[in-house]
Amino acid sequence: MAKKYGKKYLAAAEKVEAEKLYNLDEAAALVKEIDFAKFDSTVEISFNLNVDTRQADQQLRGAVVLPNGTGKDQTVVVFAQGDKAKEAEAAGADVVGGADLVKRIADGWLDFDVAIATPDMMAQVGRVGRVLGPKGLMPNPKTGTVTFDVAKAVEESKSGKVTYRTDRDGNVAVPVGKVSFDADKLAGNIKSISNVVIKARPSAVKGTYVQHVSIASTFGPAINLDITSL
């Protein structure tokens, strides 16, 4: 069955040339212009990559601090004890704990956006791995969320750090800000994450690595990007 679109979506889509590859500055301005949501929509970039995610060495996963933030206040929890717990609290972590925090999560509490842990706490955190993993909340060294430098990790998460990873079809989707951002700030964030993803090209990949890139607001139509402008 064909998907039905509302009048506002169709009106927005008419302003986008479906076959055109927009340069970065054009796309950043257009995604703001055509947004029709009654709230401050999130703008997301999507990459389609020529990678075989069945191969471990072709799976991308990492993190980057966007230069202009995400426009969202991140609730950060930290699994730490002793001095490291104090460092996390001083850096602005919302909740800090050890076994008590593990139990709280095991009991169903998941009202947070980022989880950070010191390496010595991972054995305890692993007890709630089945809860955190599917939500994308499990601390991981590749994203800088398993570290003894908890102050830096908390500060980065609070200031606009986003994570990225390939799905099974080789796609990577990352939020790059809000439609309320100035176009140049959106463009700066898009450029930042694009540089990271492009540089992360696995050595085993043959042929064209980045197949397609687009941006879109929460309910808006996709705008195809000219990869050479990134």
**Tens-place pLDDT, residues 59-96:** 999 999 999 999 999 999 999 999 999 999 999 999 99
Confidence of residue 3 (pLDDT cuts 50, 70, 90): low
pLDDT at 155: 96
197 near 164, Cβ under 8 Å? Answer: yes
Output phi, psi for 13, to 5 deg: -65, -30
pLDDT of 2 higher than 70: no
User: 22-61: per-residue pLDDT in tens?
Assistant: 999 999 999 999 999 999 999 999 999 999 999 999 999 9
Tokens of 166: 């390939």
pLDDT at 1: 44
User: 108-158: per-residue pLDDT in tens?
Assistant: 999 999 999 999 999 999 999 999 999 999 999 999 999 999 999 999 999
Q: Please report where in the chains the tokens 């004890």 appear, as a residue.
A: 81
Q: How many angstroms separate the CA atoms of 220 and 215, rounded?
A: 9
Higher model confidence: residue 1 or residue 191? 191
Q: How many angstroms separate the CA atoms of 90 and 2, rounded?
A: 53
Q: How many residues does the chain have?
A: 230
Confidence of residue 5 (pLDDT cuts 50, 70, 90): confident
Mean pLDDT, the chain, as a whole number? 96
Q: How many angstroms separate the CA atoms of 72 and 39, rounded?
A: 13
pLDDT of 193 higher than 80: yes
**CA-based max dimension of the chain:** 58
Note the pTM of the prediction, 2 decimals.
0.89
